[in-house]
């Protein structure tokens, strides 16, 4: 079986990160996220581009969004260095989707379908350790002692971007920018839709079977 090229799509809270890591382990392929790729290539020389700064690091340190053309270049580098991969968090818009089709061939595009009410429950219930960064959920994976990290005993907090108002705004932005990407792959007839509201194991088994069939 060849090394699969997988694109995983879904709204914030759909479980892309969790499932991508499991897929990467299962098929021994790279887990490529834009965040990780940016961090790994933050000192890449982009002076040949007509951009404000000469490295991605400069954008990050200025607190500015890294432009699409820079993200594209970084994703291209990450994919070229991987035999097989699961791509998570990219493309975020139609321009990036079209660029992606120019630089690689996808074996399967998986969309994790989760209702908005479920997404809100998942995201507003997340708690993060203020000391070590470990993640918990008040309903799905609570700590042994409420408000206390199992790993280091630190305080568990709700991040500002996990409050309900912020979560609903994140979902609105996702729908505006990334929903057209889902429709793009659906129109092309290559989108595999998975019910993302099952247990993590059920969802993983469904994705794994699709990837195994496509590879």
DSSP strand pairing (191-195 vs 108-113)? parallel
The percent helix, strand, coil of the chain (3-state, each to 5) is 45, 15, 35
Among 16, 22, 122, 127, which one carries the catalytic annotation? 16
177 torsion bin: left (phi>0), alpha (psi -120 to 50), beta (else): alpha
Instruction: Name the catalytic one among 21, 42, 57, 170.
Output: 170
Q: Tell me which H or E stretch contains 191.
A: strand 191-195
Q: Of 3, 49, 38, whose CA–CA distance to 214 is shortest?
A: 3
Among this protein's residues, is 208 annotated catalytic? no
Number of Cβ atoms within 10 Å of the Cβ of 207: 25
- Of the listed 57, 76, 92, 168, which one is catalytic? 92
Residue of 22, 122, 126, 127 with catalytic role: 126
Q: 170 catalytic, yes or no? A: yes
Judge whether 116 and 171 are in contact, CB under 8 Å: yes
Instruction: Give CA–CA dist 95/107, Å, rounded.
Output: 20
DSSP letter at 157 equals E
The question of whether 186 is a catalytic residue gets the answer: no
The active-site residue out of 39, 159, 172, 186 is 159
DSSP of 32-61: EEHHHHHHHTTT---TTSS-SSSSHHHHHH
Residues with catalytic roles: 16, 92, 126, 159, 170
């Amino acid at each position: 079986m060849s090394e699969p090229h997988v694109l995983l799509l879904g709204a914030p809270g759909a479980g892309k990160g969790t499932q991508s890591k499991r897929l990467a382990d299962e098929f021994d392929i790279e887990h490529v996220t834009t965040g990780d790729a940016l961090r790994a290539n933050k000192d890449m020389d982009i002076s040949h581009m007509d951009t404000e700064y000469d490295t991605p690091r400069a954008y990050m340190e200025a607190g500015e969004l890294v432009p699409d053309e820079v993200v594209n270049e970084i994703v291209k580098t990450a994919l070229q260095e991987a035999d097989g991969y699961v791509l998570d968090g990219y493309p975020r818009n139609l321009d990036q989707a079209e660029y992606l089709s120019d630089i690689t061939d996808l074996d399967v595009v998986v969309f994790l379908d989760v209702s908005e009410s479920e997404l809100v429950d998942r995201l507003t219930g997340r708690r993060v350790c203020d000391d070590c960064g470990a993640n918990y959920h008040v309903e799905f994976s609570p700590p042994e002692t409420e408000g206390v990290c199992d790993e280091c005993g630190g305080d568990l907090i709700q991040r500002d971007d996990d409050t309900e108002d912020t979560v609903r705004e994140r979902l609105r932005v996702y729908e505006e920018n990334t929903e057209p990407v889902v429709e793009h792959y659906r129109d092309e007839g290559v989108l595999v839709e998975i019910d993302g509201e099952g247990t993590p194991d059920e969802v993983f088994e469904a994705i794994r079977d699709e990837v195994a069939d496509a590879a």
